[in-house]
Amino acid sequence: MAVNRVPVLKRCRSLGMEPMVLGINKTSKRQLRRANRKMSEYGLQLREKQKAKFIYGVLEKPFRNYFDKAKKMDGMTGHNLMIILESRLDNVMFRMGFARTRMEARQIVGHKHVLVNGKQVNIPSYLVKAGDTIEIKEKHKGSVRYKAILEVTGGYSIPEWLDVDAENLKGLVKELPTRDIIEVPVDEMLIVELYSK
């Protein structure tokens, strides 16, 4: 499995985004020094694609597959792409506050701690649907790990498209999100322009 080993703060700096988007509560005092060059149109498009891939932890091939899927759906391709990325199981776990970061959520799913509609799912890229219930397995609910996670994520605001029972580590996907309620600093139209070349 490919793993991105670039330090997170360094990557955030190069992409011009806050680490808090990833759930990491750290800041860097360093400033990104660039030569006095204006970024080309292609450079801007590429940076937006890299930003989306980095935020959701998706590699190039699956990201391209999501784009092709979004193109076939009704509506705007860019909005569809963001909705698909947001409805990944690892992202939904992070949004519900059952993990501090998307990477941790991915690990929890991979370790078979998660049930979707009562069935074990260990695929982080599993796409949830409206009406799905997501919960941590009963035998893991009392573990110290989840108590520590809930202490950190307790103050996070949960998106309106999710309904969460933090005490029982259970949640419901009320509906799939619309683009205007997805709070991710990505201009998906530039990604569409990049792939349309």
Domain coordinates in residue numbering, the chain: 8-25+38-85+181-195, 88-176
**Beta-carbon contacts of residue 57 (< 8 Å; ≥ 6 apart):** 4, 90, 102, 103, 106
Whole-model pTM? 0.87
CA distance 52 to 191: 9
Q: Residue 60 has what pLDDT?
A: 92
pLDDT tier, 66 (very low <50, low <70, confident <90, very high otherwise): very high
- 3-class secondary-structure state, position 115: strand
User: 135: which 2 tokens?
Assistant: 């919960």
Residue located via tokens 């590699």: 59
b/e per residue, 131-140, with b = 16+ CB within 10 A? Answer: ebebbbeeee
CATH superfamily of 8-25+38-85+181-195: Ribosomal protein S4/S9, N-terminal domain (1.10.1050.10)
Lowest mean pLDDT among 18-27, 67-76, 119-128, 181-190: 18-27
**Beta-carbon contacts of residue 61 (< 8 Å; ≥ 6 apart):** none
77-113 pLDDT per residue, tens: 999 999 999 999 999 999 999 999 888 999 999 999 9
* CATH number of the domain located at residue range(s) 88-176 in this protein: 3.10.290.10
Q: Residue 128 has what pLDDT?
A: 95
User: 146: which 2 tokens?
Assistant: 């989840």
